[in-house]
Amino acid sequence: MRSSLAVRTATMCAILIVMHYTVRPLLGWRTSIDFLLIALVFGSVRMRPAAAAVFGLVLGLATDSLALGAFGAGALAATIVGFASSWLKAVFFADNVALNAIFLFAGKWLFDLVYVLMSRRMRGIEMLSQLLLWTPLTALVTAVAGVLVVTLLRPVYQGRTA
Amino acid sequence: MARAAQLGGRLDAVVFAACVLVALVFSGLPEPMRDPVASALRRTIVAPLIGMQRGAERWRAAWLESERQTLQRDSAGMFRAKSKSLEMENDRLRKLLGLGSRLDWGFVPAEALHTEGRTEDVITSMTLTAGSAAGVSQYSPVVAPEGIVGLVQTVDPRMSIAILYSHPDFRVSAMSADGAAFGIVYPHLDVGPGRLSERYLLELRNVPFRSTLAIGAQIFSSGVGGAWPRGVLIGTVVDSVAETERWSRTYLVRPAVNPAHVTSVMILTSERVLQGVGNIWTVSPPGDATRPLTVRRDSVRRDSLRRDSLRLDTIPPVRF
């Protein structure tokens, strides 16, 4: 039972990671949907906090390998977001749409905050506009898209119910 | 049980701290040490994802390119259509200038506005951008370079409304080019269903039975009645209509003016109607307005050449 849940969660995360590299470039929006973060939050809330932290670290390192000069920043941000999602899910145990959306919004905002501060690429007005304008917008889009995708793919990760 | 949970919580914290430490170490590593790790990741687990991203970006580029090409095609098509209509309008305006120079006086130029969103199938009236302030009065004839257009019906200071020859109330006394046959032109109202285009034809009625008109014969206003001056082209005979009465003939006339192409018109003043229009339409159709200009330009050039040659003759020879 537990292994089938793990397989379904892994499948769902794989679908979301693939979507990040296929759907997102197709859309080409300025405030793009972060499917990797949706995968991270979705997987983390179904794992123990330790596993979620490792999942975040691996996912972050993989994405950081493409970001020249910011290696480790995404890994740290993803680790924090993964661990926090898993821990908070354990504290506020509920599975509803609004809670998922809040998790995704807060997760994306926290991710960007840690990433921007750690990568040290932006300063002053540019950093403020990123954190106070573009990050909330991207977080909102990601939250809405995440709720939609998770709702649409519910048959994949829930399987058959008796 | 509580002990196991406590142990699990402590393990979570340790693993989390270890992960944070690893991330910080990677972040703090100098570039030469970071690059091999990043490169290894790029070559292994990230490579298929990048392949997918490349494919998606190609799709997007192709989509944007096709959109751009469609836009280019559309704008080229629109430009072509616009240039065609501009050419037609230019041609009409040249003809109108030609008519203006022939009429010389007693007319008011106006733009003809077709009412947008009309519900009628056949155009029977149009708004003209000249009114009583410009000298337009009720029943003033409206003409185009090709011939008769209609008659002013209502006049306001700045605009007026004219009925076209297709209007049921339109009448004009007419004659053949040689003046042998006379009659009255009416709109052709008796049109069968599905033959709406024939609604723009005219009927030349009450032509004496002894006067026969050949197909293609030109019909002009006769000036009888005083509403229209004599000699404005109405159209050409296209057919004869079988009459029940045996003492007169009726002919179908194709109007010289196509109402769809009417954008600029001339409104004849009452003085001009009384004075007549001479043989502007009977001798030859109003030609290109550029022709007299070209002739004038050529004569000016000839004059200047002649003056130059005269001046050369008067220059005294230079002595060395």
pLDDT tens readout for residues A74-104: 999 999 999 999 988 776 656 677 888 888 9
Q: Does B7 reach chain A within 8 Å, measured CB to CB?
A: no
A60/B56 touch (CB, cutoff 8 Å), yes or no = no
Measured in angstroms, the CA of A38 and the nearest CA of chain B are apart by 17
Chain A residues with beta carbon closer than 8 angstroms to that of B5: none
A66/B57 touch (CB, cutoff 8 Å), yes or no = no
- Dihedral (C-alpha) B101, B107, B109, B113: value to the nearest 10 degrees? -130
Measured in angstroms, the CA of A140 and the nearest CA of chain B are apart by 23
Looking up residue A113, the CATH number of its domain turns out to be: 1.10.1760
Q: Any residues with CB less than 8 A from the CB of B250 and at least 6 apart, and which?
A: B203, B204, B205, B206, B207, B240, B241, B243
Contact B279, B231 (CB under 8 A): yes
Q: What is the pLDDT of residue A162?
A: 38
The residue range of the domain holding A47 is 2-158
**Comparing A124-133, B36-45, B137-146, B241-250, which segment has the lowest mean pLDDT?**
B241-250
**Number of separate domains in chain A:** 1
Pairing of strands B147-155, B202-208: unpaired
What CATH code would you report for B105-282? 2.40.10.350
Taking alpha carbons only, the member of A62, A40, A36 closest to residue B26 is: A62
> The complex's ipTM?
0.84
Closest B-chain CA to A118:
B27
B34/A71 touch (CB, cutoff 8 Å), yes or no = yes
- Nearest by CB: A72 against B8, B14, B26: B26
Q: What is the pLDDT of residue B121?
A: 65
Q: What is the mean pLDDT of residues B272-299?
A: 60
pLDDT tens readout for residues B96-123: 777 777 777 888 888 888 754 444 567 8
Closest A-chain CA to B53:
A21
Kindly list the domain boundaries of chain B, sorted by start residue. Answer: 2-63, 105-282
Position B307 confidence tier, pLDDT thresholds 50, 70, 90: low
Chain B residues with beta carbon closer than 8 angstroms to that of A72: 23-29, 34
Q: Provide the whole-model pTM.
A: 0.51
Does the pLDDT at position A143 exceed 50? yes
Q: What single string gives the DSSP state of each residue in chain B?
A: -HHHHHHHHHHHHHHHHHHHHHHHHHHHS-HHHHHHHHHHHHHTTSHHHHHHHHHHHHHHHHHHHHHHHHHHHHHHHHHHHHHHHHHHHHHHHHHHHHHHHHH-SSEEEEEEEPPTT---SS--EEEES--GGGT--TT-EEEETTEEEEEEEEE-SS-EEEEETTSTT--EEEEETTS--EEEEEE-----TT-GGGGG-EEEEEEETT----TT-EEEE--TTSSS-TT-EEEEEEEEE--SSSSEEEEEEEESS-GGG--EEEEE-HHHHHH--TTHHHHS----THHHHHHHHHHHHHHHHHHHHHHHHHSPPP--
Chain A residues with beta carbon closer than 8 angstroms to that of B56: 21-26
Closest A-chain CA to B56:
A22
B19/A18 touch (CB, cutoff 8 Å), yes or no = no
pLDDT tens readout for residues A4-55: 888 888 988 999 999 998 888 888 787 889 999 999 998 998 888 999 999 9
